[in-house]
Chain A
Amino acid sequence: MAWAKAGHEAAFRELVRRYERPIFSLLYRMVRDRALAEDLAQETFIKVLNGIKSYRPEFKFSSWIFKIANNAAIDHLRKKSLDTLSLDGSPSAETPEQMRATSLQLGDKSETPLDEVESRELGTAIEKAIAKLRPEYRSCILLRHVEGYSYEEIAESLELPLGTVKTYIHRARNELRVYLEDRRE
């Protein structure tokens, strides 16, 4: 980190190399779209590296970078939920023609090679169960059990009270267990 702050390109590259997989994996599981996750990961690294001089060494670098990545994912998911059109068309549509014109056409999207990769990578039962969690639960559970961070580190990274992090993780595990047990029955 000291090297990166002092301005060594090699140190920047080393930070990207070290964190690209964990950051990309978190974002990919949050947004479930490879191309979008890569854009958000790129945005995260650019923000972190261009702002490296504002990094405060009393905080862990990993907490800082995961906070920026998670914020990018949550912002995107919030925006997406606002933009989502109803299958029945815009809520302001008043006539059948307006409803048809503003409704989503499910048959329009043909499967691309990227879609196939995504369904292979994220198609397992546990990945589908994770996708059903609330985004806040999802980031906490991924940081805890995929990245192996402590509750305290997650609280620092996501700027949440420790008790909230514990609650989210326990609820997330309960929900996952129910999804997975339903699948097995």
Chain B
Amino acid sequence: MNHSEMHLTTDEIELWSLGLLGAQRAFHLSDCSLCRDIADRERKVILELVQLPRFAPTAGFADRVMAQVKVPTPSGDWQER
């Protein structure tokens, strides 16, 4: 069995899902329905995950943090806030 005939590893399937797998290994998917099926199902999950939004904390979050942080002065002393 040459390299292009070997089934894709889990890592390779992840790379393919992210569009990062080299063409030579990706070519295996055109011939192997087993790998193609696994890869398609894996890609669906990964695409749902990468499209998840980032949430923001409520307004004024940074101010609330900074109110409790001791900012060191450039001289190295700590400045109580």
Contacts and interface: CB of A to CB of B under 8 A. Distances in A.
A92 to B, nearest CB: 39
Interface string B53-76: 111111001101110111111111
A176 interface: yes
Interface stretch (A9-17, A56-64, A78-86, A97-105): A9-17
B42 A49 contact: no
A132 interface: no
Interface of B: 10-11, 41-42, 44-46, 48-50, 52-58, 61-62, 64-66, 68-76, 79
A24 B62 contact: no
A54 to B, nearest CB: 12
Contacts, number: 93
Contacts of A49: 65, 69
Contacts of B11: 166
A25 B66 CA distance: 20
B45 A16 contact: no
Contacts of B74: 6-8
Contacts of A6: 72, 74
Interface of A: 5-9, 12-13, 16-17, 20-22, 24-25, 28, 37-38, 41-42, 45-46, 49-50, 52-53, 121, 126-127, 141, 145-146, 148, 166, 170, 173, 176-177, 180-181
A177 B42 contact: yes
15 contacts: A7-B76, A20-B61, A21-B54, A21-B57, A24-B61, A41-B61, A42-B64, A49-B69, A145-B50, A146-B49, A166-B11, A170-B10, A173-B46, A177-B45, A180-B44
Given A9-B71, A16-B61, A41-B57, A145 B46 contact: yes
A20 B49 contact: no
Contact of B55 (A28, A145, A166): A28
A24 B56 contact: yes
Question: Which 5 residue pairs of A and B lie closest in terms of their CB atoms, listed nearest first?
Answer: A7-B72, A145-B49, A21-B54, A16-B62, A49-B69
